[in-house]
Amino acid sequence: MRGADRGHQLSDAGLLLITVALVVAVWQGVWVAALAVAVGLLMRQRALVLLLCVVAALIGTWVGARAWEQAAPRNLGEYTGWVEIVADPAPYGAGLRVTVEVDNERFDAWLYGGARRKLADRQSGQFVWVQGRRTEVGTNSRRAQIRHVVGRFEAQVVGDVIEGSPLARANNRVRSRLRSVAESTMTADDAPLFTGLVIGDDARQPSWLIDDFRASGLSHLTAVSGQNVAFVLAAALPLLRRLRPWWRWAATVGLIVWFMALTRFEPSVLRAGVMAVLAATAYVRGQQVQPVRILSLAVQGLVVVDPLLVWSVGFWLSVGATLGVCAAGPWLAPRLPGPDWLRLPVAVTLGAQLGVALPSALVFGRLPIVSLPANLAAVPAAGFVMLYGLPAGLLASLLPPALQSVVMLPAMLGTRWVSTVAQVAAAVEPSPTWGALWWSAGVSCLLVWWWRGRSRVAASDVPI
């Protein structure tokens, strides 16, 4: 940012510390204020940063407690009438989970038999007439509450379904067309992977494919993130360039919000979308803002609006990967051996893996050793599918079936390549114990290499 080094502005490190104080306070409570101040003193931060850390911790504690209070149901008992489907129905074994909103409260309905078949192909934003009973969540209440679900809806009758708002209808048409084209031109396993790569629609992915993506460290590819948002903006750039600055900003923000709605406002796309809006705003004002600064502001705003994001694994994988790419990637690039064309993608991939190491280890219990080569092999193809898939899928939906296969062939090949990389990487991934040993050996080699490099530089600086 111009004048970023002026005394009245916060440094990137100070802003990041404030963000950490806010997030951890939502999670653990107000005592984090003292810890943030202590860390700030060690970092030699200014008094303003320390004061803002305390304020952030107080705000985080308050919004966190309030969010959990609102996660309890206010209205239980019998209900008959219209409810809104607020998440695409997701199959679970023989059942179907449908999240509905009743009187501004969300409930999970588990449907079987005829009711399951009736709503299997319905989408978020539609309304369905039901008769049933609202009860408490029961088991796994914490996991449900993180999704703002306060209870269960035991449906006795499932009736008519009607369309929702104009925006919901438009987004559902786009998603339906992409899904239909994928299912008619790709295999049963590749079609849901394609929609997952393009718009995050991965509800129909087979369980074995989900396991392979997790084991290979590629599960982030089906979570819509900054790469998808960047590709959408890149595709629209020829049109956006023709507009005046502030009209271009308005069109850019509108496009970002539309894409966020299309991808169901998933936590990862929320982070990416808000960062893109902040970057577009800074650009139109003639400012240059560091990505870490934008990330800090985005996380602060999102956590204040929705504190339960602090417990979202997808959100922290997205934040961690972005922080690793923005902070660790540029630092690693000039320090890695090899040609320039290889060092940059390796540095970016390493940075992303460092960023997701902690949440991956805590949640999944492992950090795949094959994640680095798997990402280097799969990410370029996945990026092509993300860029090509949305416009190609919409175009193909308007063409005869014979031409659909021609238009979708590049996307089909890219999707198949990503799937193959995930399967091969998952097959060669060692057990968690051996994986931990390999990571320890790799980190040790890097530390030795880095220490020897520092020693050579120090020796060359000694006067003769």
pLDDT in tens, 142-193: 888 889 999 999 999 999 999 999 999 999 999 999 999 999 999 998 999 9
Judge residue 380's burial from the number of C-beta atoms within 10 Å of its C-beta, 0-12 exposed, 13-18 middle, 19 or more buried.
middle
Q: How much helix, strand and coil, in percent to the nearest 5, is found in the chain?
A: 65, 10, 20
CA distance 324 to 225: 14
pLDDT in tens, 387-411: 899 999 999 999 998 899 999 999 9
Tell me, what amino acid is at 128?
Answer: V
Q: Which pLDDT does position 5 carry in this prediction? A: 42
Give the rounded distance of the alpha carbon of 453 from its chain centre. 37
Check if the beta carbon of residue 251 is closer than 8 Å to that of residue 290: no
Check if the beta carbon of residue 111 is closer than 8 Å to that of residue 91: no
Check if the beta carbon of residue 316 is closer than 8 Å to that of residue 359: yes
Q: Which pLDDT does position 442 carry in this prediction? A: 65
Regarding pTM above 0.75, the answer is: yes
Query: From start to end of 119-231, where are the E strands?
Result: 127-136, 149-162
CA distance 454 to 136: 60
CA distance 117 to 112: 8
Find residue 77's DSSP bridge partners.
134
Q: Which pLDDT does position 106 carry in this prediction? A: 95
List every span in the chain annotated with CATH 2.40.50.140. Answer: 77-164
Q: 196, 171, 170, 179: which is closest to 121 by C-alpha?
A: 179
Q: Which pLDDT does position 359 carry in this prediction? A: 80
Q: What is the pLDDT along the chain (464 residues), one digit of tens a residue?
A: 344 444 447 888 889 999 999 999 999 888 888 888 888 888 888 888 888 999 999 999 999 999 998 888 999 999 999 999 999 998 887 899 999 999 999 999 999 998 999 998 899 999 999 999 999 987 767 888 889 999 999 999 999 999 999 999 999 999 999 999 999 999 998 999 999 999 888 778 888 888 888 888 888 787 777 788 888 888 888 889 999 999 999 999 999 999 999 998 989 899 999 999 999 999 999 888 889 999 999 999 999 999 999 998 889 888 988 999 888 888 888 877 778 878 888 888 888 888 888 787 777 777 788 888 998 899 899 989 998 999 999 999 999 988 999 999 999 999 999 999 999 999 988 766 666 666 666 667 766 766 766 565 555 555 55
Q: 220, 214, 185: which is closest to 423 by C-alpha?
A: 214
Residues 6+ apart with CB under 8 A from 235: 387, 390, 391
CATH dotted code for 77-164: 2.40.50.140
Find residue 82's DSSP bridge partners.
129
Token pair for residue 109?
A: 């309905």
Q: Which pLDDT does position 456 carry in this prediction? A: 57
